[in-house]
């Protein structure tokens, strides 16, 4: 059965539903963002709190949306949408931190393989040292 596409004036029910979903989604995103920004202050609980919040909020919202009817269901849909938006925005950065930490030998920051640190003289003599390095590599 094909659905027809038509542009029409929305009904009051449709406008109410969209308003509830967007409003609750925005509030959910703001509250979850505040909670995630406070997570580093929890110390050892930071990782479970962050992942629990990011994964739990969309699941709870989807459950409310699926198991209720009416405006409560619309609010659950907004919670799921807001939580999924935060998850989608934050997840790539968090996964990137894990892959960078693994490549550096257990999360230690600093020089990894193939990284050259500047010695005495700082960045002012970096160009001269780079030229010397290139010259020594070309003479081999």
**The dihedral sign for the CA sequence 32, 38, 40, 42:** negative
So what's the pLDDT on residue 120? 64
Decide if 33 contacts 86 (C-beta within 8 A): yes
So what's the pLDDT on residue 32? 92
Calculated CA dihedral for residues 124, 125, 127, 132, nearest 10 degrees = 180
Closest listed residue to residue 78, CA positions, set 13, 10, 11, 21: 21
Q: Which ranges of the chain have pLDDT less than 50?
A: 106-108
Domain spans of the chain, in order of start: 12-106
């Amino acid at each position: 059965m094909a659905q027809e596409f038509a542009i029409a004036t929305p009904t009051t029910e449709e406008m109410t539903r969209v308003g509830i979903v967007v409003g609750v989604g925005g509030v959910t995103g703001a509250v979850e963002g505040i909670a995630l920004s406070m997570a580093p202050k929890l110390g050892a609980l930071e990782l479970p709190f962050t992942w629990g919040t990011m994964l739990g909020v969309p699941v709870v919202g989807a459950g409310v949306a699926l198991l209720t009817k009416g405006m409560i269901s619309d609010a659950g849909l907004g919670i799921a949408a807001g939580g999924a938006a935060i998850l989608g925005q934050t997840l790539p950065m968090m996964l990137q931190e894990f892959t960078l930490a693994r490549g550096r030998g257990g999360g230690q920051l600093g020089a990894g393989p193939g990284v050259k640190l500047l010695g005495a003289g700082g960045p002012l003599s970096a160009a001269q040292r780079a030229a010397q390095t290139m010259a020594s590599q070309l003479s081999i």
